[in-house]
Structure 1
Amino acid sequence: MTAPPVPPTPAIYRTTIRHVRTAPLRNAFRYRSYSWLVDVDHLPSLPRVLAPLAGFASADHLGDLQWSLRQNVDAFLAAHGIDLEGGKVLLLTNARVFGYVFNPLSVFWCHDAHGRPVCVIAEVHNTYGERHCYLLRPDERGNARAAKEFYVSPFNDVDGEYRMRLPTPDAALRIAISLERPGQPPFVASVVGERRDATALEVVRAALTVPLAPLRVAAQIRWQGIRLWARGLPVRPRPAHRRQETV
């Protein structure tokens, strides 16, 4: 069976992000942003005048700060018995904008040396500066499941299971995540967007359309948390977090 073509990089996806909570309080919101799709072996390097609008660093993701992003991905996979043998790894992420970045979700699509999909790493960050990586084995349609193992929201910290749809982006980006909680309706988040080639002009357009995008994402999440707290939704205590790299 021939592997589907790996989409070219780098690319920018202009996105709409939507969150829907229906219980115990209803809260739904959406906002615009944009994400980068990059090859971890060939991270974009912009001209000096545009460099503040998009920076990429291994320190923003899993692993050892002294290693490259590729080395950290390979080490994480090796700990789970996976060797890509040099295959491509595509990353959907927010870039640093004027030195700041916040990535609620980054997704690594991992391929073997023949271009065949092997696995997906869903890397989740919370607003406390913590992160957790879920190793997934999606089916042909990009569907996967994972038990919830990480404190993301002070209002969601209950046992549950994530149902994710993470197909490899092409002309369109279509990501959906549903947190299934015992005895409650699911909490649903989605990211949809259209691909643009990451030309210098598109970098400027994206930055002007959604100025300071990572900061706006972080502010939006915190503002929604304040609203839920003000409406009386109880805050659940945050447990001590242990980095996966130290386990």
Structure 2
Amino acid sequence: MADDVLRLEQVRKSYNVGRPTESEILHGIDLALGRGEFAALIGPSGSGKSTLLNIMGLLDRPTSGRLFVDGQDTSALDDRALTRLRGRSIGFVFQHHLLITAFTALENVMMPMLVERGFPDDAMKERALELLTGLGLEQWQHHLANALSGGQQQRVAVARALAMKPALVLADEPTGNLDTKSAEGVFEMMREVNRKSGTSFLIVTHSLEIARGCDRTIELVDGQIVASGTAPTAA
């Protein structure tokens, strides 16, 4: 559907296909994420969350089924086309910020644009500074990444994920390495980005508090979606 930023139809993923050790991890996933949604993906360890996230992020291909990203059917795309689509439509935030520690905050946010265009220009700097300013990091723009606090580093990582104005941000335990106050700050900042820009977010989390702050919770157990609906409320 046109309003879906992400859609999976009967997606399955197996490893060691055709061998005696073949194992299916995802079992016919049907899932749609609408434009502007802010959703959580939860489930126990070993449920297939990382495998599913890699497929949704175009880092891996399903064994069968169809995946649509930003309206594009990815099944017929070659690796080069998938890379272009991923760079244009999807931003990533990881538990470990993965910033380049020898670069400043501004330079880290510029990196996706530099990879896309091949050379730096003033427009890239303006976009990076706009994002850092919007996330309360303007005064730290010239600080090296390793000179920032954990919460500041994760904010820079979110700014980097937004650099290409993606339709979708996939966040894998983005607050998992932060103290409670920093985690709350990063989460609220992502929420505000979602409200202001309409960027869709799918957040993989073990935190019930994070899930409660999302509009929708998708639960994955043993490679199958067992629930998808309004986020749980506090008891």
Tell me the TM-score normalised to structure 1 length: 0.27
Structure with higher RCO (Cα < 8 A, 6+ apart): 2
**Structure with more of its chain in strand, by fraction:** 1
More helix by share: 2
* TM-score of the two chains, using structure 2 as the length reference: 0.28
